[in-house]
């Protein structure tokens, strides 16, 4: 795990919410098609209508794409959350939660941790933990 990976947690959650909204909008569009569900093509007195089924198929294909992405995001978020929750030291785990799960700045993390912590102190705790856990993962291989 790297700091770059951990910093993605907030963005992954936002992306997940956006995708869930898009999926809901697609489902709503399929459930309640508007009068524009048929496209008029051609001119003059005759009209050829594109069947609503082709729009539904297109929407379902788009929904499948979003569902796949949603699943991938959920997996990535779960990996990051598990990494943080598996930190055995309470102080270190709280620093990670405040920084990466809640998105606080290092200064805000230090203030919330109290005890005379500084932004630099909590940042160093985090960096050291990531470095040590990365080194221990390499030694297991």
Residue pLDDT, tens place only, 52-84: 556 656 666 888 888 999 999 999 999 999 999
Confidence of residue 133 (pLDDT cuts 50, 70, 90): confident
Confidence of residue 48 (pLDDT cuts 50, 70, 90): very low
| Residues in Cβ contact with 14 at an 8 Å cutoff, skipping those fewer than 6 apart | none
- Residue 68 CB-half CA count within 13 A: 6
| Residues in Cβ contact with 96 at an 8 Å cutoff, skipping those fewer than 6 apart | 6, 84, 87, 126, 129
Element holding 36 (H helix, E strand): none
Question: Residues 84, 101: contact at Cβ < 8 Å?
Answer: yes
What is the DSSP-derived secondary structure letter of residue 48?
Answer: E
Confidence of residue 136 (pLDDT cuts 50, 70, 90): confident
Q: Each residue of 92-101: b (16+ CB within 10 Å) or e?
A: bebbbbbbbb
Rounded average pLDDT over 109-113: 97
Question: Residues 130, 84: contact at Cβ < 8 Å?
Answer: no
pLDDT of 41 reads: 47
Task: Round the average pLDDT of the chain to a whole number and report it.
Answer: 83
Phi/psi-derived region of residue 115, left when phi > 0, alpha when psi is between -120 and 50, beta in every other case: left
The interaxial angle of helices 9-31 and 52-85, nearest 10 deg, is 160
pLDDT of 40 reads: 45
What do you get for the CA distance between the two ends of the chain, in Å? 15
* Higher-scoring residue by pLDDT: 3, 135: 3
Give the whole-number percent of the chain exceeding pLDDT 90.
59
Does residue 95 surpass a pLDDT of 90? Answer: yes
Q: Convert the pLDDT of each residue in 112-128 to its tens digit.
A: 999 999 999 999 999 99
């Amino acid at each position: 795990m790297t700091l770059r990976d951990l910093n993605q947690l907030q963005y992954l959650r936002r992306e997940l919410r956006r995708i869930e909204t898009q999926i809901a909008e697609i489902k709503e569009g399929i459930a309640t098609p508007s009068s524009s569900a048929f496209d008029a093509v051609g001119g003059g007195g005759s009209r050829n209508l594109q069947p609503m089924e082709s729009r539904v198929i297109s929407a379902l294909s788009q929904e499948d794409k979003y569902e796949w992405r949603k699943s991938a995001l959920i997996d990535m978020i779960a990996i990051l959350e598990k990494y943080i929750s598996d930190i055995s030291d309470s102080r270190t785990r709280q620093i990670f939660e405040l920084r990466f799960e809640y998105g606080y700045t290092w200064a805000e993390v230090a203030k919330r941790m109290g005890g005379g912590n500084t932004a630099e102190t909590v940042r160093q705790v985090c960096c050291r933990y990531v470095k040590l856990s990365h080194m221990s993962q390499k030694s297991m291989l």
